[in-house]
Amino acid sequence: MTDLALFDLAARNARWLGARQAVVASNIANAHTPGYKASDLQPFEETLARTRLTPTATSPAHMGAGEAAIVRAGARETEGWETVYSGNNVTLEQQLLKAGEVSRGHALNVGLTKAFHRMFLASVKG
């Protein structure tokens, strides 16, 4: 629905934030796994540019289809603050900062969606 581009954008942003939260959770879970490299998603702007057209999964056997898969495919290994002897470069502090960013972004997203909705209802009710 092009008329409600704001809602569409908010939904995409929420999906990206959810995916990023999952990536950060994986990093934190593997904070003490030897050889594990921390990964992160590409910034939302880049993900947005790549997901204008998305293939649709028409069968559960399809792999890598749908927007969520594309968002996830954007995960890249990142440089951590430090790499320990076991080859692990997850720093809990860094990951918790990222989790904080996600949390703040999500609060903003939800707040904006609420505001859009209020405006929308106000215009409908007249």
Interface ranges with other proteins (CB under 8 A): 14-15, 17-19, 21-26, 28-34, 36, 66, 68-69, 72, 92, 95-96, 99, 102-103, 106-107, 110, 113-114, 117, 121
Nearest Cα to 105, choosing from 20, 25, 28? 20
Nearer to other proteins, 4 or 31 (CB): 31
Residue positions counted in the chain: 126
* Angle, helices 5-29/92-125, rounded to nearest 10 degrees: 160
Q: How far is the CB of 25 from other proteins (least distance, A)?
A: 4
Residue carrying the six token digits 């934030």: 17
The CB-of-24 to other proteins minimum distance in angstroms stands at 7
Phi, psi (deg, nearest 5) at residue 52: -60, -45
CB of 97 to other proteins, least distance (A): 12
Q: Of all helices (H) and strands (E), which one includes residue 95?
A: helix 92-125
Q: Which is nearer to other proteins, 22 or 48 (CB)?
A: 22
Kindly state the smallest distance separating residue 78's Cβ from other proteins, in Å. Answer: 14
